[in-house]
Amino acid sequence: MTSGNNIETEYLELNSKNKWQVLFQKIGSHNFEDNKCSEAIKPQNKILNRYRDVSPYDHSRITLKRGSTDYINANLIKVERANRQYILTQGPLANTYSHFWLMVWEQGTKAIVMLNKLVEKKQDKCFQYWPPKIGSDYKMQLEDVGLTVEYTEQQDHSYYLTRVFRLTDTETGDSRDILQYHYITWPDFGVPTSPTVFLEFLRKVRNAGVLESTVGPAIVHCSAGIGRSGTFCLVDSCLILIEKYGINSVDVKEILLEMRKYRMGLIQTPEQLKFSYQAIIDGTKLLLDQNSTSEEENNVHISNNISSNVSEESSESEEDEPPPLPPPRTDSLHNHNGAPVDRPLPKIPKSVSDNDLSYENNKQTYIPSGPLPVVPSHEDEYSEEDELEEEEDEEEEVLGSDSPVSDQSELTNSKHSTSYEVRQRNRAQRKETMESQVRDMKRRQQVNEQWTQLKRSLYLPLIVGGSLLLGGGLIAYVYYKG
């Protein structure tokens, strides 16, 4: 690969003179009069176009082979020197998503690159052409084209999503898994936040092998299928050409004009054109870095071989050298094979509550030992039989068990009032005693909880350079997050 600065020099000149609008208008001034759109303007096909001013050229449009129509707003883009082919299309409509899946099936496509969200700026930009949820229960039946679509998998990669759909021909029973790369942070009529992030997305798509000529052309779409879609294809094709022929062999403007012969209006704004240059320049630098890295790896491999030979020759002289220093303290936490030693920390008793711990005035508190007392429930305090028995005993104490009958008869009139007072007094005493016991139990339980919390705080690890300070000793440990 040559190390010229053609594209970078052109970019710096355009940027310094702020001529992106001029270059964009110059590209747009090329008129492809021979490219007709007669099929797109037919009455039965007008309702199949998302936008009136974005139509597929007749000579490169994709034609469907079965179903109620052969028309779909899509074109096959060819970049011969880069050995690349793409199908650029609009975001499917509610009345065209079955045609979209038929195109995927008939063209042998392995991946869909989606560069827009379904709704942008409160406007519908694309119909959700896949099932609402994962699973066979949500399978879409496309009876008009003889296909079914099942949503089988999704992965979230922060700024883009990957999905897997199983497309099945109901006539033959044949199935294929289709990948979808959904870029969710590219604004309409705008550019990604960073060329680096976009290039990482492009790298993921490339590494899957879905853009290669050995498989059916990838389907790339946004809302209209010309702006963001054109940017993606232009950057990918230019980087392929730079990798094959060198940076001086690539003219970004000419490649874009070549692609516009197949579909109108590719790249919609000067900002998208400028971003394409930035991404191509950054991508070229990454390619150069990768090549230099591979050369360094080869040099390191050769150096390691030489070092191993030298170490074998000098093994005898090393026997006279002093022994090595002991390993760092953290090394003692590994087995001989390098695996961390599983040394459990001391058990921390569970606490009923961690919210009531306080250390007001640093008072010394007596901490009871042993299990907490069992607090009886109110149902177990006294039964009715026990209460009656106690009332009878109290009445006997008041009346006297050995009093004569005559004395007992004199006390009959005051019996009820006296026994009632005794019962009330005894009940009050029992209640007061029980409440005192309950308060004492709660106090002891609270103290025990505070003690538990205090012990837990003593076991709390203090991480200092990979060490645990526990009590007064320093225990080295390895913090391993499973």
d(CA 256, CA 237): 10
Please report where in the chains the tokens 């090394």 appear, as a residue: 331
Q: Is 225 annotated for ligand binding?
A: yes
Sort strands 147-156 and 160-169 into parallel, antiparallel or unpaired: antiparallel
Q: Which residues are catalytic?
A: 222
Q: Is 37 annotated for ligand binding?
A: no
d(CA 313, CA 321): 15
SS (H, E, C) the chain: CCCCCHHHHHHHHHHHHCCHHHHHHHHHCCCCCCCCCCCCCCHHHHCCCCCCCCCCCCCCEEECCCCCCCEEEEEEEEEHHHCEEEEEECCCCCCCHHHHHHHHHHCCECEEEECCCCEECCEECCCCCCCCCCCHHHCEEECCCCEEEEEEEEEECCCEEEEEEEEEECCCCCEEEEEEEEECCCCCCCCCCCHHHHHHHHHHHHHCCCCCCCCECEEEECCCCCCHHHHHHHHHHHHHHHHHHCHHHCCHHHHHHHHHCCCCCCCCCHHHHHHHHHHHHHHHHHHHHHHHHHHHHHHHHHHHHHHHHHHHHCHHHHCCCCCCCCCCHHHHHECCCCCECCCCCCCCCCCCCCCCCCCHHHCCCCCCCCCCCCCCCHHHCCCHHHHHHHHHHHHHHHHCCCCCHHHHHHCCCCHHHHHHHHHHHHHHHHHHHHHHHHHHHHHHHHHHHHHHHHHHHHHCCCECCCEEEECCEEEECCCCCC
Q: Is 268 annotated for ligand binding?
A: yes
Which residues fall within 8 angstroms of residue 242, CB to CB, at 6 or more apart?
1, 249, 250, 280, 283, 284, 287
d(CA 461, CA 475): 10
Q: Is 226 annotated for ligand binding?
A: yes
Sort strands 467-470 and 140-142 into parallel, antiparallel or unpaired: unpaired
Q: Which two tokens stand for residue 337?
A: 């094979």
Please report where in the chains the tokens 């009632």 appear, as a residue: 420
Q: Is 224 annotated for ligand binding?
A: yes
Q: Specify binding-site residues for substrate.
A: 188, 222-228, 268
Q: Specify binding-site residues.
A: 188, 222-228, 268
